[in-house]
Structure 1
Amino acid sequence: MTDKGRIARLADEYTAAWNSGSAEAVASFYAEDGEIIINRGEPWQGRAGVAEMAAGFFADVPDLKLTCDEVRTAGDHVVYMWTFTGHDAASGNPLTVQGWEEWDLDGALKVKASRGWFDSEDYARQAAGK
């Protein structure tokens, strides 16, 4: 369905949206009725829900810097592997967190569904300075 060049540009632009600090910019990559579920949690639905999720990360890690480590594609399914760095807002401790999102894209290359994963126990340890 999609060529790798378009997916690479999508990944670059999505990374830039996260690095802009704008929750709305992140949400703009999702279909109107798109959703994200992180670590089997409750879904954030629609662009407003995705913006709420992103705003939560920006509040928790105000200097969040995201890098895209790798992208893999299979038709309209994409795996976006990432690392973010920054400092925990509450403790000030440095964070380096790795994870990935699994996207199902629509014909306009908007995310219909995302399943995100990261080691939340490691995140908590780093935030606590352990």
Structure 2
Amino acid sequence: MAEAKEFVEHWTRIWAEHDGAGWPELLHEGCELRNPLGTVPRSALPGYMANLLRAMPDHTLTPTGWGETADGVLIEWVMTGGGVEIRGADRFTLRDGRATEGFAYFDPAPMIAAMTPPPLPVERLAREYDAAWNAGDVEAIVARHAPNGSYRLHIGGGPEITGRAAMHGAFTAALGNWRELSFELNRIRCGADYYVWESTVRGELARPLRLGPVTIEPTGRTLTFTGIDLVSLDADGLISAKDTWFDILAAVAQSTSVSPPVPTS
């Protein structure tokens, strides 16, 4: 009984202090701890505790009762943290005061839910980003991009632009090309961390628009053409990469077409 009591006291201290480095002291070489989430070897227990602490920094695990068994000890416990409460039991086989094997029994579903980040609201983020473009708000547009994110307009061999400062300059210049500019959603396709945004672009040029070898002159006409954005999001919902394609030939055709003659009587 004294051996089991000392083991439980040591086990309780490890959990109370989140002392992952203290775990190997409780276990014989080669001992593994098995739980519903998998098997953790003795050498991996410090890292296991560190990962749990990162995922649930406010967690506590407290024994609610324990008893000596024929070959070891059984500890009942309650864990709280991350807005969940989990009750379970650990059974250890002991030899000379240390465990040769250990099994944990609990329902892992609440822990998995607490440690799993919520899904990104991809469509909402996409619509808010589109609203910033329709408002011509460069600050709001750039704020949606990750600090080290990238952007590329795939027309005329355009270069990749990296970083918020560079994108701020590029987007300011792009918006400055137009007197009026709007984006109308045609279709959106969302994944877990990306979306494809298909839209109709309408605008009147304020100055010549140079896109690689092509220059579109302002004519006072409203140009209408389609565009596609492929947008990747990081874990925080910021844009890590954006690639854009426009039907530039449609815009060129509209800017160079000749208006039909006006009939006269």
TM-score calculated relative to the size of structure 2: 0.45
- Greater alpha carbon shift after TM alignment, 117-126 vs 104-113: 117-126
User: Which one has a bigger Cα radius of gyration?
Assistant: 2
- Greater alpha carbon shift after TM alignment, 85-94 vs 110-119: 85-94
User: Are 2:142 and 1:32 equivalent residues in the alignment?
Assistant: no
**Superposed CA offset, 1:55-105 (max 9, x none):** 222112221011222221222121111222121213222111211111111
Question: Which 4+ runs in 1 deviate beyond 4 A?
Answer: none
Partner AA of 1:30 in structure 2: H
**Superposed CA offset, 1:27-79 (max 9, x none):** 11110011111115201211122222222221122210112222212221211
CA distance in 1, matches of 2:138, 2:179: 12
SS in 1 for 2:179: coil
Task: Give the drift of 1:129.
Answer: 4.3
- Shift of the 82–30 alpha-carbon distance from structure 1 to 2, 3 Å rule, reads same
Partner AA of 1:111 in structure 2: I
User: Which residue does the alignment assign to 2:196?
Assistant: 79
CA distance in 2, matches of 1:84, 1:53: 18
SS in 2 for 1:15: helix
* Pairing of 1:80-99 with structure 2 (within 5 A): 80-89=197-206, 90-99=218-227
CA distance in 1, matches of 2:251, 2:182: 15
CA distance in 1, matches of 2:239, 2:189: 15
- Greater alpha carbon shift after TM alignment, 100-109 vs 60-69: 60-69
Q: Percent identity?
A: 28
CA distance in 2, matches of 1:102, 1:22: 20
User: Are 2:230 and 1:115 equivalent residues in the alignment?
Assistant: no
Determine if contact 1:11/1:68 at 8 Å carries over to the other structure: no
User: Which residue does the alignment assign to 1:101?
Assistant: 229
Gaps of 5+ in 1: none
- Shift of the 23–124 alpha-carbon distance from structure 1 to 2, 3 Å rule, reads farther
Task: Give the drift of 1:113.
Answer: 0.7
Partner AA of 2:242 in structure 1: S
TM-score calculated relative to the size of structure 1: 0.86
Gaps of 5+ in 2: 1-117, 207-217, 259-265
What count of residue pairs does the alignment treat as equivalent?
Answer: 128
Task: Give the drift of 1:2.
Answer: 3.5
Determine if contact 1:105/1:111 at 8 Å carries over to the other structure: yes
